[in-house]
């Protein structure tokens, strides 16, 4: 068929409503279909590949056989397609030119925006606003489903404690409580409780599990953690995602207890499928099944197929051990056909549930771009951007009063502010900081712009020009940090400082005695000691997506009062990593008056900016604080007042600390918070409840229980700034 004919056919694609089926109806359909399938065809459903053999995030492979494989029913799904005509062609091949006409499904990495670009995920997490993230996820779902995508490889639910790891920008940070809230928000936003809808997309929670703890922050590295740490910290977000009905879970590249996740029966069967009653399907990460050979737990691809199938892996991404070897393994009696039936059944159920058997061309439109980047979506992107920004320092300089500013740095005029995993977003749809200020004030602002330095290099003349711009201005605004691709997959860094040439310029500008506002662009927490010493204010702008410049202009001039709070600590220095708020105590906790204590001799123990931290342009006071306890748990009540001149939101947080338990527990565990918006001068009565069951922890018998005993309950501004605490007891 030529292109014109395909276009004509695509124009006829309908949006017929897809019936919602009961579990029983779905099972019956799948049972009937599977009774007609050969073993080989069932195995074919377990394979996901790329269209043209492109190397997406790993090795490329020979795709010359793809057409034949589709025709033989040997491909179940594709990843990484961005062209609807390609999707249409492949689907047509599967539906019209195979024995049973089973449709393919199409998956993609749509992580923090399809065409509308939201801030990266760690940035969004700093909003402490799951409702907002759910709304953003609905937009992501709408735009990606209308691009013919059935599943997004998101949310990424890895707990992260090491900013050297480039992928921290995909996560929501270091806390399992926050992780659970966001897991639900993403899944509900993507799936909208209705996968037959043309506006929703299926979620795939990843990476199961422990990937956030790669040793030394080095990508794809070894992980070693106790089962208690796994269950207590790393598992809860996945539990929340599964409870919310997440359709798929992706394994991780790392080992757990020396067995790669992708071939780890304890993880995939004992914990996920059996323990959590997960009824969706498990997909490997990109070639992570064949990588178990490099992990040295399989000698060849045949053993890969056997081990992964036995472990519970349903769908293989890119590696082809299943389609090459499972049939033989079953015929030799080495693998039970029941396992293949179970995996195939899970994939077919998914396809039927989302309506691919009713309409295999669901949302495969020619005019898909018409659904992208609407004004409403841009407005939401701006709201999310505003809420993601964290004010790290402000010595009486922000919001800016003067309109005569020097704007300096590689990110001042840059539109490369999407960050990694940008989906289909485009740089040209992004607003630079410079343009954001111009949009806001037109000619009412004097911006003395200079590049100053590039990310890593400098030119004497341009450097001097920056110094001159600063001299002519009332205040210096620096737009510096990481280039957007410096974080993301395969972007580990052993040094997490702002590149040295940028720091040199900062220090030289400091000598001029002007006020300095440092606007930090980054995918990860950085070592900010030099920035902190040499700036009057620091705005953590992360990478904010389409509306970056407009949002930052509002923040710089006080039209929006920053309310973001960190969900990942900023270490004091790289040597302190991992540093996270919910750590255990030591037997010799820090005491400045005692020598033999747990400390560094050259730096503080605490991070530079801790979990929960973030400043505001206004001041909030807390009064009439009361703690009360009943059968159901503990309630903290208080009055919060906005004492300053700016409207704004504060985020009071409640932490607990178990004083004696059968195992050592963290010094702080976040158990509740509220984001409270107050007009200048306004007061509100707030109540935050922590249920008794939320005091539970995996005890010495590896059971999640609330043990009797003493607990501290703390009302706090952040994990290090406790306003008031009280002791409570649970007794039998
Ligand atoms: C990443 C996954 C991603 C997959 C497909 C892998 O390298 O770890 O997060 O979904 O590639 O692009």
Whole-angstrom distance, CA of residue 74 vs CA of residue 325:
13
What are the Cα distances from residue 617, in Å, to 226, 557, 562, 647? Answer: 43, 11, 7, 9
Residue 103 DSSP label: P
Handedness of CA 240, 419, 386, 582 (dihedral sign): positive
CA of 207, closest atom in ligand 1: 9
**Hey, whose CA ends up nearest to atom 2 of ligand 1?**
285
What are the Cα distances from residue 616, in Å, to 555, 570, 572? Answer: 10, 18, 22
- Which regions in the chain score pLDDT beneath 50? none
> How many angstroms does the Cα of residue 285 sit away from the middle of ligand 1?
6
Q: What is the best residue among 107, 156, 206, 286 to mutate for testing ligand 1's pocket, by most ligand atoms within 8 Å of CB?
A: 286
204 within 8 A of 238, measured Cβ to Cβ: no
> How many angstroms does the Cα of residue 532 sit away from the middle of ligand 1?
35
CA of 153, closest atom in ligand 1: 10
Whole-angstrom distance, CA of residue 43 vs CA of residue 87:
22
> How many angstroms does the Cα of residue 79 sit away from the middle of ligand 1?
10
Say whether the peptide bond before residue 399 is cis (omega within 30 degrees of 0): yes
Query: Which residues, 6 or more positions from 590, have their beta carbon under 8 angstroms from its beta carbon?
Result: 597, 598, 599, 605
Same-fold call for 1-104+282-353 versus 382-576? no
Whole-angstrom distance, CA of residue 190 vs CA of residue 483:
29
What burial letters (b/e) apply to 614-634, b meaning 16+ CB within 10 Å?
A: bbbbbebebeebebebeeebb
Inter-helix orientation angle 337-353/321-331, to 10°: 140
**Hey, whose CA ends up nearest to atom 10 of ligand 1?**
153
Query: Which residues, 6 or more positions from 459, have their beta carbon under 8 angstroms from its beta carbon?
Result: none
DSSP string across 36-96: T--HHHHHHTTEEEESS---SSS-----TTHHHHHHTT---EEE----HHHHHHHHHHHHH
Whole-angstrom distance, CA of residue 36 vs CA of residue 45:
14
> How many angstroms does the Cα of residue 80 sit away from the middle of ligand 1?
10
Whole-angstrom distance, CA of residue 419 vs CA of residue 430:
11
Whole-angstrom distance, CA of residue 89 vs CA of residue 565:
47
pLDDT at res. 367: 87
The residues carrying an active-site annotation are 285
Task: With CA atoms as reference, report the closest residue to 152 among 209, 190, 197, 121.
Answer: 190
**pTM for this entry:** 0.97
- What ranges do the domains of the chain cover? 1-104+282-353, 382-576, 620-730
Q: How many residues does the chain have?
A: 732
> How many angstroms does the Cα of residue 431 sit away from the middle of ligand 1?
28
**Hey, whose CA ends up nearest to atom 4 of ligand 1?**
286
**Hey, whose CA ends up nearest to atom 6 of ligand 1?**
286
The fold for domain 620-730 equals Immunoglobulin-like (2.60.40)
Q: What is the CATH number of domain 382-576?
A: 3.40.50.1700
Q: What is the best residue among 54, 81, 109 to mutate for testing ligand 1's pocket, by most ligand atoms within 8 Å of CB?
A: 109
- Residues whose beta carbon lies within 6 Å of some atom of ligand 1: 56-58, 79, 109, 153, 206, 285-286, 489
Count of beta carbons in the 10 Å neighbourhood of residue 592: 6
> How many angstroms does the Cα of residue 345 sit away from the middle of ligand 1?
24
Cβ burial of 445 (10 Å; 0-12, 13-18, 19+) is: middle
Say whether the peptide bond before residue 697 is cis (omega within 30 degrees of 0): no
Q: What is the pLDDT of residues 549-597, one digit of tens each?
A: 999 999 999 999 999 999 999 999 999 999 999 999 999 999 999 999 9
Q: Does domain 1-104+282-353 have CATH number 3.30.70.600?
A: no
**Hey, whose CA ends up nearest to atom 5 of ligand 1?**
286
Q: What is the best residue among 202, 260, 489 to mutate for testing ligand 1's pocket, by most ligand atoms within 8 Å of CB?
A: 489
């Amino acid at each position: 068929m030529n292109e014109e004919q395909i276009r004509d056919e695509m124009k006829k694609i309908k949006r017929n409503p897809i019936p919602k089926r009961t579990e029983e109806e779905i099972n019956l359909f799948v049972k009937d279909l599977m009774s007609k399938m050969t073993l080989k065809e069932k195995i074919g459903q377990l394979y996901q590949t790329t269209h043209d053999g492109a190397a997406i995030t790993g090795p490329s492979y020979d795709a010359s056989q793809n057409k034949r494989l589709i025709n033989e029913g040997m491909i179940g799904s594709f990843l990484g397609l961005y062209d609807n005509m390609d999707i249409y062609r492949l689907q047509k091949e599967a539906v019209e030119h195979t024995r049973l006409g089973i449709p393919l499904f199409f998956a993609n990495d749509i992580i923090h925006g399809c065409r509308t670009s939201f801030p990266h995920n760690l940035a969004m997490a700093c909003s402490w606003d799951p409702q907002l993230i759910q709304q953003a996820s609905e937009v992501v779902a709408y735009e990606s489903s209308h691009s013919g995508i059935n599943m997004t490889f998101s949310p990424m639910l890895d707990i992260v404690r090491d900013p050297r790891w480039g992928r921290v920008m995909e996560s929501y940070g270091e806390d399992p409580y926050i992780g659970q809230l966001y897991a639900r928000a993403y899944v509900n936003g993507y799936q909208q409780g209705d996968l037959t809808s043309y506006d929703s997309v299926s979620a795939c929670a990843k990476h199961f599990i422990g990937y956030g703890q790669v040793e030394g922050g080095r990508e794809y590295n070894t992980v070693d953690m106790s089962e208690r740490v796994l269950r207590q910290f790393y598992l809860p977000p996945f539990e929340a995602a599964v409870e919310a009905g997440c359709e798929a879970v992706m394994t991780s590249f790392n080992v757990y207890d020396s067995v790669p996740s992708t071939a780890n029966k304890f993880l995939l069967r004992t914990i996920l499928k059996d323990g959590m009653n997960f009824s969706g399907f498990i997909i490997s990460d990109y070639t992570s099944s064949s990588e178990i050979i490099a992990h040295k737990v399989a000698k060849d691809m045949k053993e890969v197929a056997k081990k992964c199938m036995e472990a519970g892996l349903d769908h293989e991404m890119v590696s082809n051990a299943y389609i090459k070897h499972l049939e033989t393994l079953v015929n030799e009696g080495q693998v039970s056909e029941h396992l293949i039936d179970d995996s195939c059944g899970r994939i077919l159920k998914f396809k039927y549930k989302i309506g691919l058997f009713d309409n295999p061309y669901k949302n495969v439109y020619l005019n898909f771009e018409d659904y992208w980047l609407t004004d409403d979506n841009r407005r939401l992107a701006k709201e999310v951007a505003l809420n993601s920004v964290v004010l790290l320092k402000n010595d009486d300089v922000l919001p800016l009063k003067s309109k005569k500013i020097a704007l300096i740095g590689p990110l001042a005029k840059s539109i490369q502010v999407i960050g990694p995993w940008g989906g289909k977003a485009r740089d040209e749809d992004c607003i630079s900081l410079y343009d954001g200020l111009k949009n806001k004030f037109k000619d009412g602002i004097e911006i003395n712009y200079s590049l100053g330095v590039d990310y890593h290099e400098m030119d004497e003349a341009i450097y001097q020009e920056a110094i001159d711009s600063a001299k002519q201005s009332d205040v210096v605004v620096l737009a510096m940090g990481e280039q957007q691709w410096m974080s993301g997959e395969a972007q580990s860094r052993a040094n997490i400082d702002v590149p040295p040439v940028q720091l040199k310029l900062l220090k030289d500008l400091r000598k001029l005695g002007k006020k300095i506002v440092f606007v930090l662009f980054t995918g990860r927490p950085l070592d900010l000691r030099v920035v902190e010493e040499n700036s009057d204010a620091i705005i953590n702008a992360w990478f904010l997506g389409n509306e970056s410049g407009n949002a930052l202009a509002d923040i710089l001039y006080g039209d929006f009062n920053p309310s973001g709070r960190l969900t990942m600590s900023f270490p004091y220095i790289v040597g302190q990593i991992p540093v996270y708020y919910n750590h255990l105590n030591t037997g010799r906790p820090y005491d400045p008056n005692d020598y033999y204590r747990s400390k560094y001799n050259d730096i503080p123990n605490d991070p530079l900016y801790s979990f929960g931290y973030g400043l505001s342009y206004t001041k909030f006071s807390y009064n009439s604080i009361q703690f009360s306890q009943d059968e159901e748990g503990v309630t903290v009540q208080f009055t919060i007042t906005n004492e300053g001149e700016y409207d704004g939101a504060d985020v009071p947080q409640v932490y607990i600390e178990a004083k004696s338990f059968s195992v050592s527990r963290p010094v702080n565990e976040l158990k509740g918070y509220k984001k409270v918006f107050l007009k200048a001068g306004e007061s509100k009565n707030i109540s935050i409840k922590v249920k008794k069951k939320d005091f539970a922890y995996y005890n010495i018998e590896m059971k999640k229980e609330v043990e009797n005993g003493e607990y501290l309950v703390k009302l706090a501004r952040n994990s290090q700034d406790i306003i008031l605490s009280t002791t409570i007891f649970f007794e039998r």
